[in-house]
Amino acid sequence: MKINSKQYRTVWLEGSDVKLINQILLPHKFEIFTCKNHKETADAIKTMIVRGAGAIGATAAYGVAQAVLEANNKDFLEYIKNAIITLKNTRPTAQNLFTGIDFVFNSIKNIKNIEEAKKIAVEKANEFADYDAESCRKIGEFGNNLIKNNFNVLTHCNAGWLAFVDWGSATSPLFLANRNGKKIFVYVDETRPRNQGSKLTAWELVNENVPHAIIADNAAGFYMKQGKIDLLITGADRIAANGDVANKIGTYEKAVLAKENNIPFYVAAPTTTFDLNCESGDKIPIEERNAEEVSHMFGVDEKGNFAKIRIAPKESQVKNPAFDVTSAKYVTGIITEKGVIKPTRGDIGRFVRDKRLNKQ
């Protein structure tokens, strides 16, 4: 993605520093955030300076590499294992985080020479990030085939390049269709409570010159019923072995509405998002986030100052599940770097098992 004529990734490693685009400040301010050690990297994931399945997966992989670089000969492996616990405890739902951590750790856990381990850890973290970016590019190619000229597409949350290392999953087909000259229009769900649709996806579409409009979350059904939505594409934070999909809260209701209105509902995700050890969606842990995300709003005031304001009564109880699960029966297909696959145990087993980055 180009910002001000310069090419960026969402996350990268410079020396032993993890560099991140600070997503909390977007779209009002573009700033690079630096994590000096694995604890700062873990905190950046937890506080959502970086967010999105692929992005936190790559960031966590770099966090493991940082831990290896920090470690000394004494209790080398123990130090790394403790760092991994810290990184894994940041966010529970997105599978890519665990895939990235395990990919780097499994590459160095049996190496006795600490200098060799440091070299390999950095190489493997970069390999994992590169795989994420390339997977999303391929998702764009497969997904582009589903988008016809003059299509209106609905998105939910942000599964764009900010949510991955580059390209994104759900937005990658949109970017490619637009670059190939197809006339498309994107309806962007605002995606309360953190508004990743209106803040992040819309910002990406502005940078890519893709025609779009931000809509309130509960307006999607209105446009579906009017026949103004031809296709719905979302990302995923974890996909179970049976094809059930965990994604940003509100995805389930969009999928049900899509089925009711005979609109194809596709999920776009690299195979690193699949959890073959998770039998079904009801086994996926769902993160409950801070109440202030619902009771308050964060933005820029008329003077250009960042501000947080309360919009709910102080006395009101708040519940804030960050994700929901969409049953496989509502999913038309899953767009992966291997192709578009059916949300069935058989298809997932054939395409994902033994074909992932970290062979199993």
Per-position DSSP letters for 101-128, written without gaps between them = HHHHHHHHTT---HHHHHHHHHHHHHHH
**For position 197, what pLDDT does the model report?**
98
Find, among 11, 227, 232, 212, the residue nearest to 143 by Cα.
Answer: 232
Between the alpha carbon of residue 102 and those of residues 108, 122, 182, the distances in Å are 10, 14, 40
**For position 356, what pLDDT does the model report?**
44
Between the alpha carbon of residue 226 and those of residues 212, 250, 258, the distances in Å are 17, 20, 12
* Strand ranges in 141-295 using DSSP code E only, listed in sequence order: 151-155, 184-189, 212-215, 231-234, 238-240, 245-248, 265-268, 274-275
**For position 1, what pLDDT does the model report?**
79
**For position 354, what pLDDT does the model report?**
47
Q: How far apart are CA 326 and CA 115, in angstroms?
A: 45
Amino acid identity, position 343 = P
Which residue reads 């670059």 in tokens? 179
**For position 149, what pLDDT does the model report?**
97
Judge if 2-137 and 142-352 fold alike in CATH terms. Answer: no
**For position 282, what pLDDT does the model report?**
96
Q: Which fold would CATH assign to domain 142-352?
A: Rossmann fold (3.40.50)
**For position 42, what pLDDT does the model report?**
98
Please say if 237 is a catalytic residue.
yes
**For position 73, what pLDDT does the model report?**
76
Q: Contact 97/57 with Cβ under 8 angstroms? A: yes
**For position 357, what pLDDT does the model report?**
53
The helix (H) or strand (E) run that includes residue 78 is helix 76-88
Q: What is the pLDDT of residues 26-71, one digit of tens each?
A: 999 999 999 999 999 999 999 999 999 999 999 999 999 999 999 9
Delimit the domains of the chain by residue range: 2-137, 142-352
Q: Which of 237, 244, 275, 324 is catalytic?
A: 237
Spans in the chain with pLDDT lower than 70: 353-360
**For position 343, what pLDDT does the model report?**
98
**For position 72, what pLDDT does the model report?**
85
First and final CA of the chain: distance in angstroms? 32
The CATH number that domain 2-137 falls under is 1.20.120.420
**For position 346, what pLDDT does the model report?**
95
